[in-house]
Amino acid sequence: MKETKYIFVTGGVTSSLGKGIIAASLGKLLQARGFKVTNQKLDPYINIDPGTLNPYEHGECYVTVDGHEADLDLGHYERFLGVETHKANNVTTGRIYQNVINKERRGDYLGKTVQIIPHITDEIKRNIKLLGNKGEFDFVITELGGTVGDIESLPYIESVRQLKWELGNKCLIIHLTYVPYLAAAKELKTKPTQHSVKALQEQGVQADILVLRTEHNISMDIRKKVALFCNVEQSAVMQSIDVPTIYRVPMNMQAEKLDEVVLTKMGFDLAKTPAADMAKWIEFVEKLENAKEEVRIGIVGKYVQLPDAYKSIIESLLHASAYNNKKLKLELILSDKLTEENVEKKLGNLNGIIVAPGFGPRGMEGKFTALKFAREQNMPCLGICMGMQTMSIEFARNVLGYADANSTEIDSTTTHNIVDIMDEQKDILNLGGSMRLGAYKCKLKRGTKAFEIYGKEHISERHRHRFEFNNAFKAEFEKAGMICSGMNEESDLVEIIELKSHKFFVGVQFHPEYSSTVVKPHPLFISFVKASINNTKSL
């Protein structure tokens, strides 16, 4: 059984410094040396999970294979490491308190007064150790959300303090801070970092490594100053400078010797540790950065003002574009503002479009307009989740002639509800009997584009939706040329639809973007981007 070591990544000075990217980058470097690594995110908000959060509030909701709605940083972890995450990889304050309160109600604490210390901190530590207790991993890298000094983060910092004492050199702490550049003084300022480290020390935690986020290179003299004032070795003070793509960060942190310092501090003999094999990663980054010819893709959705709402889709397009040796030129198109009058102007210069997921009726008519344009112009189009549902409704309206075709999510009184909650599905849905979450198996029909794309008959993909294609219309759809090419065999639910006489007009009920990684881009995105590259009619 492996002896698991724990690494914690905390942040100071300001939020949005990229703790998740640093945590994922370190994980990638250790993995490239042959270690088994997993990443974990501790979120200080009171929500049980981000499933009920508005995408404008928190970005996309990422879904794990076991059906857990998680923070978008888990997407970074999977894309970097190519290792599936699960419910244990994302913990919120809401879930911690819920667990403790449930235990108190059951009498597990034998009548004791339930307090932050030790009961909340014990629950946090238990959740941190869940992954390590499996004996599968050499390292569990845990990112603490929020900023040191926030009241919400206090129980987590205290838990880390306790674990540092309990685990000794099996525990290491990396603190990420911001070093601002004052243009008037033409100087980098380390005072915010000093205060951040001091705030951490006041809570009983001494950072082992400091990673300084910066827009300008940090000199050795400044690093020496930071080391002196912050009580860390000079070799353990390193920079993370702004880069054009997050995928260059692992290479930059390797140049800063982050993995070497971590391993040395945790008792490893570098002479006996394999060097990091980053060949495939470097090949991907070089393709990504050096591609000259563009492929122009539009994402039609209702949350485009915050690109993080479609983070996994955007990253999947980057993976697939690099795979096809093309530079992604992305346009985000607000579906609310898309009309018959402006659709040619907004979509006409694109090679292909993705109609994005999104619950609720807002922006639906704009999606119908985009889909009609793509279908009639033979423009490559990929519909994801609600994108597939709107694809089926548009087809019913404009090809089958059902002018009132709709979804029960929008109008329960409509006669022709193409998208519905199937009665036989209610027993396998959760969240009030109306949500399908996590990975489900799908069988592909031979001779279809879906089968050609995947190259196999059986696949498994992740879901996050309430409504399903109404099978009452299946035969009529297929007779008119819209093939149901992927089916869930157990419940006879339609998972993939595709237009027979089109370059690429495919709708999927699941979320393929959750499964695309740097080293292994998703075949659906590879095929869609390739079809878009070959589409020159609209340019």
List residues with catalytic annotation.
Answer: 385, 511, 513
Six token digits for residue 231: 């009580």
Q: What radius of gyration, in Å, describes the C-alpha atoms of the chain?
A: 25
Neighbours of 201 (CB within 10 A): 14
The gap from C-alpha 175 to its chain's centroid, in whole angstroms, comes to 23
Nearest-CA neighbor of 244 among 282, 311, 289?
289
Nearest-CA neighbor of 118 among 170, 166, 167?
166
Helix-, strand-, coil-residue percentages of the chain, each rounded to 5: 45, 20, 35
DSSP string for residues in 168-233: GGGEEEEEEEE--EETTTTEE--HHHHHHHHHHHHTT---SEEEEEESSPPPHHHHHHHHHHHT--
Answer yes or no: are the C-beta atoms of 463 and 510 closer than 8 Å. Answer: yes
Six token digits for residue 482: 């819209």
CB-hemisphere CA count at 13 Å for 52? 7
Torsion of CA 154, 156, 159, 163, to 10 degrees: -130
CA distances from 267 to 128, 264, 417 (A): 21, 5, 63
